[in-house]
Amino acid sequence: MSREFLKDSNNSRGGIGALLAGLRLLFNNPITRLLLRTASIEVECIYSNRSIKAPIIYHALSKYAGEKPLTCPITTRLFRVLINDIISLGIKLLKGREEEVIEALKDPALRRGVTLVLKGLGLYGVTVPQKLPAPFLIVWNFTNMCNLRCKHCYQRASRPLPDELSLKEKLMVVDQLDRADLAAVALSGGEPTIHPHFYTILHEIASRGMYAAVATNGWVFADMEKLIKAKKLGLRYVEVSIDSANPKKHDWFRGVNGSWNRAVKALENAVRLGLNHAMAVTITRVNLGEVEDILDLAESIGAKRVVFFNFVPTGRAKENLWLDLDPFEREEFLRTIYKEMRKRKLEIICTSPQYGRVALQLSSGREVAPTHFYVGGDPIVRALAEFIGGCGAGRIYAGIQPDGTLIPCVFMPIPVGNLREESFWKIWTTSPLMKSLRDRGKLQGYCNRCPYRNICGGCRARAYGYFGDPLAPDPGCIYNAKYWINLVKEYFVGREKVYIKEQLALHLSEY
């Protein structure tokens, strides 16, 4: 969902993107930062339908969007006037359209996201990339239970683990995320939709104003009634995994016959219901040659968005390293989807951080892809790419394991604390690893000195998967090709099914 939030933030000069860029200018001084820190205090206001305890900033944004509280502390009213005047000034400075901002801020999840940015500016000032007091998005590995056996599964999902959170503990986690002002929670797994607690927790997330999303294999949501139920309970975004336009190839990759048909049906159902949705594709050597066919399939279903996921060597994927692309294949793939995006009406997203750099290079600096995806040629977007962009692990995004363990990324299973024992906020703000991931100056190899590090930073999960160090170079980038070449010699050469591209083989003797 962070992609959803940022897409909505950046899709035009007149929207939230203009607001955030303007606030970056206005709040980068001691006086306005003090205002934001003071306005980060939580207060309770009574609205027409319920009482909301939230930072003063959130209440100011609510008032700006036209929601008038029945009662609020007098000091809150004063801060609301100040903050709203600054918001209006920020929009005018960048010649934005105030009516678009007002409309966008009617969404409580977007208000939460903007609140986090403003709290971050108050605490840390303008940083590149921006530091936040909590992530925009948590991906919650809701359970280890799964009805498929995918060859790349980062969780090695099959049966539920013996120490998974109880329903009471899950509700406690939702409460902690709410109090940390998170904008969005995506339920993943395993397969979250087959767990008996799924609908209860989905409703709890949505009822607190957070953006409720789910990443699914589609098996359950092939039943329209189940998807309708989820939508009624507050589901706003569904991401369905489809790894090939060829049913047999998808079923082989996912380990269960019939899974392609169920996934396609689930995505069709999401389209029919008008739910925000995406087709999720893990790009590997198995499906690299059918990118256009996959995009054609998405268009035939009526999908509006396709998300291409990086192959990350963790979980079962560690046993299938031959599936990974080499840096040259990945570079060509990123160029291909950029060009396809320019030709099609589809929104094409990629979790490879290098996509931002490729988009910038191909467009001669006129367009850039914050947080891994293309959004257009607005100069505001270019500024936001460095403000928010690049790998978000431990910075604007984190993961939660089925037992409540907090990790920087679902593809990077390094425990930094457990929500059964410590508060989310304490872990997020004190973890040494999380702090390191927020400092691009600590990256190693070419990632450290790369001119694109603030809109990319490399995939920290891939660095950890291959080198055991999340600050190591990402070997999937052409600028780090020598590291990939050494990995090829160590892991791949001579192994069955491994194909070494001629361009890569020519360099093997150099290292």
pTM for the whole structure: 0.91
**Residue 408 CB-half CA count within 13 A:** 24
Give the chain's domain count: 2
Helix (H), strand (E), coil (C) string for 85-137: HHHHHHHHHCCCCHHHHHHHCCCHHHHHHHHHHHHHHHHHCCCCCCCCCCCCE
Give the per-residue pLDDT at 159. 94
Mean pLDDT of the chain: 89
Q: What residues contact residue 213 under an 8 Å CB cut-off, 6+ apart?
A: 1, 4, 184, 185, 186, 187, 235, 236, 237, 238, 239
Give the per-residue pLDDT at 477. 97
Cis peptide before 190 (omega within 30 of 0): yes
* Per-residue pLDDT band at 386 (split at 50, 70, 90): low
Q: Which of 124, 157, 188 is the last residue of a domain?
A: 124
* Per-residue pLDDT band at 1 (split at 50, 70, 90): very low
Give the per-residue pLDDT at 360. 84
The per-residue pLDDT for range 342-373, each reduced to its tens digit, is 999 999 999 999 998 998 888 765 555 544 43
- DSSP element (H, E) containing 426: helix 424-430
Q: Does any domain span residue 150?
A: no
Give the per-residue pLDDT at 23. 78
Over 90: is that where the pLDDT of 494 sits? no
Q: Bigger pLDDT: 5 or 56?
A: 56
Q: Which of 83, 107, 124 is the last residue of a domain?
A: 124
As a whole-number percent, the residues of the chain with pLDDT over 90 amount to 73
Give the per-residue pLDDT at 297. 99
Distance CA 234, CA 217 (A): 19
Q: What residues contact residue 192 under an 8 Å CB cut-off, 6+ apart?
A: 140, 142, 143, 198, 214, 215, 216
Q: Does any domain span residue 244?
A: no
Give the per-residue pLDDT at 20. 75
Q: Bigger pLDDT: 503 or 73?
A: 73
Mean pLDDT, range 241-258, rounded to an integer: 98
Distance CA 57, CA 61 (A): 6
Q: Does any domain span residue 116?
A: yes
Q: Does any domain span residue 352?
A: no
Mean pLDDT, range 54-79, rounded to an integer: 91
Give the per-residue pLDDT at 479. 96
Distance CA 265, CA 398 (A): 30
Q: Does any domain span residue 472?
A: yes
Give the per-residue pLDDT at 497. 42
Q: Does any domain span residue 185?
A: no
Mean pLDDT, range 262-286, rounded to an integer: 98
Q: Does any domain span residue 203?
A: no
Q: Are 340 and 348 in contact (CB under 8 A)?
A: yes
| DSSP-assigned letters across all residues of 356-379 | HHHHHHHTTTS---GGGB---S-H
Over 70: is that where the pLDDT of 503 sits? no
Mean pLDDT, range 406-435, rounded to an integer: 97
Give the per-residue pLDDT at 388. 62
Region of poorest pLDDT, from 23-27, 106-110, 464-468, 480-484: 23-27
Distance CA 214, CA 218 (A): 10
Give the per-residue pLDDT at 87. 86
Q: Are 286 and 314 in contact (CB under 8 A)?
A: no
The per-residue pLDDT for range 207-247, each reduced to its tens digit, is 999 999 999 999 999 999 999 999 999 999 999 999 999 99
Give the per-residue pLDDT at 177. 98
Q: Residue 465 belongs to what domain range?
A: 456-510
As a whole-number percent, the residues of the chain with pLDDT over 70 amount to 88
Distance CA 198, CA 204 (A): 10
Distance CA 34, CA 27 (A): 9
Give the per-residue pLDDT at 372. 45
Residue 163's SS3 state is coil
Residues 417, 420, 421, 427, CA torsion sign: positive
Give the per-residue pLDDT at 382. 55
Distance CA 212, CA 233 (A): 10
The greatest distance separating any two alpha carbons of the chain, rounded to the nearest whole angstrom, comes to 73
Region of poorest pLDDT, from 42-51, 139-148, 190-199, 484-493: 484-493
Q: Are 340 and 291 in contact (CB under 8 A)?
A: yes
Mean pLDDT, range 258-262, rounded to an integer: 99
Residue listed under structure tokens 């678009």: 100
Q: Does any domain span residue 506?
A: yes
Distance CA 348, CA 278 (A): 9
The per-residue pLDDT for range 108-150, each reduced to its tens digit, is 999 999 999 999 999 999 888 888 999 999 999 999 999 999 9
Over 50: is that where the pLDDT of 498 sits? no
Q: How far is CA 280 from CA 16, 243, 401, 494, in A?
A: 26, 7, 21, 32
Residue 237's SS3 state is strand
Residue 241's SS3 state is strand
Q: Which of 74, 94, 124 is the last residue of a domain?
A: 124
Over 70: is that where the pLDDT of 251 sits? yes
